[in-house]
Amino acid sequence: MTNSNANMQSGYAAKRKLANIVVYAILVVMCIIWILPIVWLILQSFRGEQGTAVSYLFPKQWTFHNYVNLFTNDKFPFGKWFMNTLIVAIFSCAFSTLLVLMVSYAFSRLRFKSRKTFLNLGLILGMFPGFMSMAAVYAIMGMLGLSQSLVALVIVYSAGAGLGYQVAKGYFDTISRSLDEAAKIDGATRHQIFWQIILPLSKPIIVYTALTTFIGPWTDYIFVSYFMKDNVDNYTVAYGLYRMIERESIMEYFTTFCAGAIVVAIPITTVFLIMQRFYVAGVTGGAVKG
């Protein structure tokens, strides 16, 4: 029996080892597939040869001119676009994060008439793509005198943020209600409970929400292209970089476009790496339970 058990354990160990090897091999292949386009983009940003498609991976001429040209050419003012995007991202991040947290707290903690109806309505509305309302939103912004302005973009990115309450609400649900009850006994108001008790315990979900809302303006193309039209000075990087690779300019500016894509990735990647541990905690959830 001892030899039989030992053989069974040895067989299980061998199978686990083989399974681990297979899993690691799959992960390595997936990493290569994911990283290769990024490596290609970086190499193209340092390519000195003009044109788009080339039959080789590594540049024959290495240069920093593409990065210099990115910030110095007059036709595509990338530096201004970068600052536009940064300003819009910061303000929309602040407003959107506040809205999401307030709506999520209300749905998590308060019990009011039609609460479930509003929860379901928000879920359904969130399934519709935002660009379906572009024409109406553009008309409203025109009435307010905000067409082709950065303020319009901040409003667009922030106004519907409350519909993204699901993750934050799930996190608030894990925080013990006994904290609220104890605070009420001590005379705290709902306002004080939210700002002084719940939010200090919700750092992971605050960071998660801020990250997701900060990234949005850097990647949005549809709304900017519809709102800004020919107002080049108010473009954001997503639409501005796209203009670099249109038919009449792609041959001259393709490598500059690659350099711009790398520059855009730097602030997003840096912020994400710094906040990664909070981001993971916000996705997985978990707080003070009771």
* pLDDT tens-digit series, residues 186-198: 888 888 888 888 8
Hey, what are 66's tokens? 């593409």
Q: What CA–CA distance (Å, rounded) separates 107 from 119? A: 8
CATH number for the domain that contains residue 120: 1.10.3720.10
Classify residue 39: in a domain, yes or no.
Answer: no
Classify residue 53: in a domain, yes or no.
Answer: no
Classify residue 16: in a domain, yes or no.
Answer: no
Q: Is the pLDDT of residue 83 over 90?
A: yes
**Identity (one letter) of the amino acid at 230?**
D
Q: What CA–CA distance (Å, rounded) separates 152 from 216? A: 15
Classify residue 155: in a domain, yes or no.
Answer: yes
Q: Is 189 left (phi over 0), alpha (psi -120 to 50) or beta?
A: beta
Classify residue 249: in a domain, yes or no.
Answer: yes
Classify residue 60: in a domain, yes or no.
Answer: no
Q: Is the pLDDT of residue 87 over 60?
A: yes
User: How many angstroms separate the Cα of 62 from the Cα of each of 32, 53, 55, 57, 264?
Assistant: 24, 16, 16, 12, 21
- pTM for the model: 0.81
Q: Is the pLDDT of residue 284 over 70?
A: no
> Residue 156 sits in which domain range?
67-284
Number of domains the chain is built from:
1
What one-character DSSP code corresponds to residue 246? S
Q: How confident is the model at residue 75 (pLDDT cuts 50, 70, 90)?
A: confident
Classify residue 164: in a domain, yes or no.
Answer: yes
Q: What is the pLDDT of residues 224-258, one digit of tens each?
A: 888 888 888 889 999 999 888 888 888 888 999 99
Specify the DSSP element, H or E, that contains 73.
none
In this predicted structure, what is the pLDDT of residue 288? 47
Hey, what are 163's tokens? 């519909």
In this predicted structure, what is the pLDDT of residue 86? 92
Classify residue 42: in a domain, yes or no.
Answer: no
